[in-house]
Structure 1
Amino acid sequence: MKIFSRILNTLLAIGILCTLIAAVGSAIAKEPVLLTVIRSNSMHPVWERGDMVIIKNLKENDTVQNGDIVFFKTEKGSLADKGWIAHRVVDGNADKGFITKGDANKTTDQQDGSGLIEREWIAGRAVTIGETPIVIPKIGYLSLWVEEYQSSPYTLPGIAVVLAIIIGIGELTSGQKKSRKKNNGMELQLIYIVAGLTIYVIMGATMLASGQKINLVYEVSNQSNGVLMGSAVGILKVGDEVSQPLAELNNGGFFKLIGTITTDDKQISVSHTNLLLAPGQNIETTFTVNAEKPGMYESSIQVGLFYPFLPSSFIYFLAQKSYWLALAVVSIVPGLPLIIYPIIDGKMRRRMMKLLGKKKRKIKSILTF
């Protein structure tokens, strides 16, 4: 029974770890990273819905060959609204575009109304041993289940709170003296620390997924304004002022959220910088470019949504320094009590220091030997 319990706990830990890697990596890169969950059966029997696949992210100069199973996101055609897709390359090249097909589909994506897949739309390909992709069966169902409830910004934090409650109950039920004496290792301390870090990662991933980074390319000229390829603003003449929509901030939960909008470009101003969003509230934001200094500019505007774990003025202060700093600090707040508890609790601290001392002496004896 103990062996079965350990195997079950190990599998559960692997599942949570894989889910966190997939969620956090994808949220940061805005594309599948390292691991990705399969959402359909279009590649059966290579893999099925709920499987998790190891992928290799491709650089611009990496080649794509016929037979590769690639992960792509189209910008036009019948697949434009399907998100990230994993299909096999059956023909084409990087210059003209690729023809793709799900192994379980009777026709290619292009026959179904999608245009050729451009090379820059392909983010990665499945890692294989020989010709067989590396697949972790069914372990991605946890991630799929979470995705079904992502419309509420409180789903993942709710899971984190439940996790903390479960750990707390486990500590209370295992608080008997006998079990405490038997537990002379660092297992309990590690449980607290890992639980706190898990909550930290979940909170950070949730807030990161709701944030946006808007890249803005524009030019300021002394002579005239005009159109600039790939730019929403274009070429502005010194003295011009252009305002455009930026982002819609919405709060679909039950509690207030804190929104911040920051940029390092002094020629860009925004309609809102630090705001509170009440439950169910939507706010349309805009930005304005005041053309003052000639030159070519590649700027960014960072939009963030944060849980109100800290005062809004302090969160905005951190966001002005760095969005990532604000994200890290706000995310750590709910998990911090669990992380520091083994240090605050006298018994745990003494036990941990005693064990660390033993480890240190053991390592020292090995090195001196």
Structure 2
Amino acid sequence: MNLTRLLTGLVTIIAVLIALSILAGAALGQPMGVSYVETGSMSPTLEPGDGFIAVPTEVAGPVEPGDVIVFDAVNLHGGGLVTHRVVGETESGYITRGDANPVTDQDGDEPPVEPGRIEAKALQIGGNVVVIPGFGTVVTGASGAVGSLQQFLASTFGTRAFLGTQGAVYLMFGFGVVTYVLASLAERSDSRRRDRHTSRWTGSITPQTVIGAMAVVLILLVTASMVVPAGTHTFQFVSSEVASENPSVIQQGTTKNVTYVVPSNGPFPVVGVIEPTSGGVTVSPETVSVPGGETTNVTVTIQAPPDTGVYTASIREHRYLALLPTGVILTLHGIHPWLPIVVIDVLLGVGFVVLAVALIGIDPIRLDRRRHPVPLRVRIRRWFK
């Protein structure tokens, strides 16, 4: 492999990983891998359009003053994801402020940020945020072009399947197929040029490559089935002086129960671990086993503070395919919430590879082209030798 092909491959892999992280973030509603800011509230650390490495909270560790976090705002900018710096900590949560802002977010109508509302931390090295200049500008421009293409395809073919995140995935898949075909044709053309003094060119498809690619796809699908339905869920409520039948109004100093539903959206049973991530919240039961295609209810008890006002309570759900005994899953979860996912992925991946190798083998499938065409029945016999 020459240097040009190596560099091209590395650039392609990096571009695909970045694109997948953006699509995953859009699908999950939280930053994944790479994110960017749209306003100047974090200037001069992050200028509008600058990107940064978003490390999920499960991996990043505890939040400390000075960290730049991505959190799910309740009232700030109408709610949604906000990237600001932690400047303090109280019993109710973290105090945040944009580097360019003269006052904190909590000086306005944004409540202190509970740990359950923090989605990611910006990667810092030596106390400085790792900045990707102009990344958001490029992404915004590319998103506009992709959006226009999606609209064109949707109107041309008369279907909404090309719109939204799902449509973007279709476009990426199609682009990947076209790129692969063109690369294969170029490689074959190059092989023919190298063998122009001979009467044949040869190539082969290694089963290891096919099996490995299928195993990666399987692991990605299994991981998505556990990660996508999970995450943080918030309850906004009012601490009132009087009792009310409204489920979002709780009399000050008292509690109210809220039902949280844990479904198993597929045919396989799942194990759910629901943990309170804000004060005044209890969950019963904290661990549930849900049969395939069914749902299980969890009772979330929220206690209203003694002071009246608008508050938020939050819980975080972790969901795992019940491919391991429940006790094993809970033990692994106690070490780290991502550990059961990793173990399940490894078991499925290894099991799939072993089964596929036993059925297919590892001998390469040769593709020969000669001046005299080889009959199809002979090719098939060679493939299965």
Structure 2 length-normalised TM: 0.46
Structure 1 length-normalised TM: 0.48
